[in-house]
């Protein structure tokens, strides 16, 4: 029978023995109900090395939260919290009636001289990032599958959580990318320093680029890895318990070391405290997503599958099993990749990773005489738009712009004056626009929908455009030699307008392409491609009335409880000189609803983004006077923004 280190007392070997021990000591937690008494204690993967850990209270120095909160942020809920704590002055545009509302307003941190008292009072008694301000922020539970890779899983969980908190977008990162990227196998121990040293140098890719596996295989990510990695800014070791709670309250979750004892394997629910006879199994890293002073515990995300504990989470008593012996690790300054953001934009507008805050808006628009102009807006006050490069000379209508996994290049397709399609791309490495060539049918007659899809690595380019016979033409390019465009055939009838309303959906084995067009009747029609049954295009729904302009559609974050779920579709279209906003409940009844009408003198909607500014929707319209104008939706509704310039 195994024995506890340093003790002659026997430990327990079966679930029944553990249950009895917990009853005898009137423990504050219970064994998982699905485990039978005659079962042996389960075993799970660990893998933590203490290398690089610093004992709490020794180093580093106390955190200067006042200095941290002078930097601009994206998350307005956190900014409101900073005001409440006295870390910054209220800039005057924080509408407290909006909290917890759907999507807050634009925020920038006030000037340093306007803020800076120390933290006023203690943090709240309970903070839980699984649901805060009415929004979910923590990605789903993963499973180490018995592998000693907890360090990779905890680091990945921190990456995903902070990307969500800082940019209002779900992301999925690959534990396998870090695990194999640093050259480990399951028998090797690891630490958080290795995780973030690797990510700081290389970023962290998604599972489709390189998956998690327990097999001892070579590290062979897809060739477009540089364009599909989330990058990071800084990591911080947080020493004192007070600073750790303040960090969780004002910044986000933190990664922690924990010494696992045998009874922890059987944890089911309650606040965990080690049983006196439990045996030491080794070190483990997890993510602290909150704390609860009313129960004197940390709220922790584990990586032993959702069947373990409280849906994969647990509550661990303060000070238990070395959880407070060492400093904990925080992360700031995530920079999402185009793959993470690809469903959140459409039309002529994207949010790139460019700029100091990794949230610049980039836009392409016509500029007369067939030319295209690149516009951009820095992601900080005073929110002004700047006109950049003039390119090309054959544009007949506003381009459709996206960002791709080719080193985060911008890629654009527009209808030409010769009724073809023209591909342009911005080479990030050279900071210059390049010509990708003319392609497609000779009778193109609409705004193209354009995405990078799921097939292939790099993913194929997918385009759908109206043709002169009032049909829709699908074209695609395999993104490898010989770099050719292929005609995917025509479908639909009586189409009056195609638009930047093509989205890579999530239904089916590979995920379906989804699009909305406008019929001659003035109704909008939602189509999807059934990839599992012959790649046939099929109608999902017909809705709306009186539409005489191209629609723009994205998949947003509303309705997505975690990174695996599909968000609602958001659609904007011009009708009778105003903008109609529609949305589809993708996780409910799957019906389209008209939610709002706003704006004036609107000829067409040309861009739609859900960006890093909370969960705001951002719209660019072309007005009847040929000027472009920005509108945005926050928790208080739709608002008129700046006039950008002529198109």
Give SS3 for 77: helix
The answer as to whether 261 is a domain residue is no
d(CA 17, CA 10): 11
The answer as to whether 586 is a domain residue is yes
The answer as to whether 368 is a domain residue is yes
**CB 416 within 8 Å of CB 447:** no
Share of the chain above pLDDT 90, in %: 83
**At residue 3, what are phi and psi to the nearest 5 degrees?**
-125, 145
Give SS3 for 262: helix
**CB 534 within 8 Å of CB 541:** no
**CB 40 within 8 Å of CB 94:** no
Over 60: is that where the pLDDT of 105 sits?
no
Domain housing 608: 338-646
Tokens representing 165 are: 């908190």
Tens of pLDDT, residue by residue over 228-263, are 999 999 999 999 999 999 999 999 999 999 999 999
Tokens representing 16 are: 């029944």
Average the pLDDT over 533-538 and give the result: 94
The answer as to whether 123 is a domain residue is no
The answer as to whether 242 is a domain residue is no
d(CA 38, CA 529): 51
- The pLDDT value given to residue 368: 93
Tens of pLDDT, residue by residue over 4-27, are 444 434 478 899 999 999 999 999
- The pLDDT value given to residue 3: 39
Tokens representing 244 are: 């750790």
d(CA 598, CA 573): 11
- The pLDDT value given to residue 357: 87
Q: Degrees (nearest 5) of the Cα angle 536, 539, 541? A: 160
The answer as to whether 30 is a domain residue is no
Confidence band of 509 (pLDDT split at 50, 70, 90): low
- The pLDDT value given to residue 59: 58
- The pLDDT value given to residue 5: 44
CB within 8 Å of 573: residues ≥ 6 apart = 499, 518, 524, 544, 547, 549, 550, 551, 552, 579, 580, 582, 605
Over 50: is that where the pLDDT of 38 sits?
yes
Tens of pLDDT, residue by residue over 291-307, are 999 999 999 999 999 99
Share of the chain above pLDDT 70, in %: 92
CATH of the domain at 346: 2.120.10.70
Confidence band of 382 (pLDDT split at 50, 70, 90): confident
Give SS3 for 202: helix
Average the pLDDT over 449-461 and give the result: 95
> What is the pLDDT of the chain when averaged over all its residues?
91
The answer as to whether 535 is a domain residue is yes
Over 90: is that where the pLDDT of 89 sits?
no
d(CA 504, CA 455): 10
The answer as to whether 63 is a domain residue is no
Confidence band of 79 (pLDDT split at 50, 70, 90): confident
How many domains are contained in the chain?
1
128: part of which helix (H) or strand (E)?
strand 126-128
Name the residue with higher pLDDT: 72 or 390. 390
d(CA 550, CA 553): 10
Tens of pLDDT, residue by residue over 257-294, are 999 999 999 999 999 999 999 999 999 999 999 999 99
Over 70: is that where the pLDDT of 131 sits?
yes
d(CA 635, CA 589): 24
Tens of pLDDT, residue by residue over 161-187, are 999 999 999 999 999 999 999 999 999
- The pLDDT value given to residue 120: 54
């Amino acid at each position: 029978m195994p024995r506890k280190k340093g003790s002659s007392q026997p430990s327990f070997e079966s679930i029944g023995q553990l249950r009895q021990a917990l009853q005898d000591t009137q423990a504050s937690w219970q064994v998982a109900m699905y485990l039978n008494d005659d079962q042996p204690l389960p075993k799970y993967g660990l893998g933590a090395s203490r290398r690089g850990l610093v004992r709490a209270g020794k180093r580093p120095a106390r955190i200067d939260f006042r200095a941290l909160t002078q930097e601009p942020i994206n998350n307005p809920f956190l900014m409101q919290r900073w005001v409440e704590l006295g870390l910054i002055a209220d800039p005057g545009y924080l509408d407290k009636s909006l909290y917890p509302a759907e999507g807050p307003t634009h925020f920038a941190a006030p000037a340093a001289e306007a803020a800076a008292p120390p933290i006023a009072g203690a943090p709240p008694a309970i903070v839980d990032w699984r649901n805060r301000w009415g929004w979910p922020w923590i990605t789903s539970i993963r499973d180490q599958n018995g592998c000693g890779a907890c360090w990779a899983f905890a680091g990945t969980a921190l990456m995903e959580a902070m990307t969500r908190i800082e940019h209002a977008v779900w992301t999925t990162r690959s534990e396998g990318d870090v695990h194999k990227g640093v050259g480990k196998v399951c028998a090797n121990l690891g630490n958080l320093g290795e995780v973030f040293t690797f990510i700081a140098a290389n970023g962290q890719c998604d599972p489709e680029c390189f998956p998690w596996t327990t097999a001892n295989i070579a590290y062979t990510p897809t060739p477009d890895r540089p364009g599909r990695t989330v990058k990071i800014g800084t990591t911080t070791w947080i020493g004192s318990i007070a600073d750790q709670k303040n960090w969780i309250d004002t910044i986000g979750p933190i990664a922690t070391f924990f010494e696992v004892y045998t009874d922890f394997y059987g944890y089911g629910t309650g606040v965990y405290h080690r049983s006196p006879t439990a045996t030491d199994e080794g070190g483990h890293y997890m993510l602290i997503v909150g704390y609860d002073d009313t129960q004197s515990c940390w709220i922790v995300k584990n990586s032993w599958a959702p069947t373990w504990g409280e849906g994969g989470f647990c509550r661990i008593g303060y000070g238990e099993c070395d959880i407070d012996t060492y400093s904990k690790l925080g992360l700031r300054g995530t920079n999402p990749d185009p793959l993470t953001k690809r469903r959140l934009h459409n039309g002529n507008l994207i949010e790139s990773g460019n700029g100091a805050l990794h949230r610049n808006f980039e836009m392409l628009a016509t500029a007369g005489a067939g030319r295209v102009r690149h516009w951009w807006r820095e992601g900080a006050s005073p929110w002004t738009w700047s006109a950049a490069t003039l390119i090309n000379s054959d544009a007949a209508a506003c381009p459709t712009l996206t960002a791709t996994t080719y080193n985060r290049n911008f890629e654009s397709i527009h209808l030409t004056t010769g009724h073809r399609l023209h591909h342009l791309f911005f080479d990030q490495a050279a900071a210059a626009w390049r010509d990708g060539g003319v392609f497609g049918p000779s009778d193109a007659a609409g705004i193209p929908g354009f995405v990078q899809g799921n097939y292939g690595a790099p993913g194929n380019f997918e385009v759908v455009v109206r043709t002169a016979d009032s049909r829709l033409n699908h074209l695609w390019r395999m993104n490898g030699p010989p770099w050719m465009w292929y005609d995917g055939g025509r479908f639909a009838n009586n189409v009056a307008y195609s638009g930047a309303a093509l989205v890579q959906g999530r239904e089916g084995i590979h995920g379906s392409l989804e699009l909305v067009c406008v019929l001659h009747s003035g109704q909008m029609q939602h189509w999807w491609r059934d990839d599992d049954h012959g790649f046939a295009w099929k109608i999902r729904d017909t809705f709306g009335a009186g539409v005489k302009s191209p629609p723009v559609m994205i998949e947003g974050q509303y309705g997505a409880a975690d990174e695996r779920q599909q968000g609602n579709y958001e659609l904007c279209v011009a009708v009778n000189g105003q903008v109609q906003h529609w949305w589809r409940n993708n996780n409910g009844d799957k019906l389209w609803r008209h939610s709002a009408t706003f704006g004036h003198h609107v000829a067409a909607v040309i861009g739609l983004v859900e960006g890093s500014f909370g969960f705001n929707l951002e719209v660019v319209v072309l007005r009847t006077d040929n000027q472009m104008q920005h509108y945005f939706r926050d928790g208080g509704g739709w608002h008129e923004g700046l006039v950008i310039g002529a198109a």
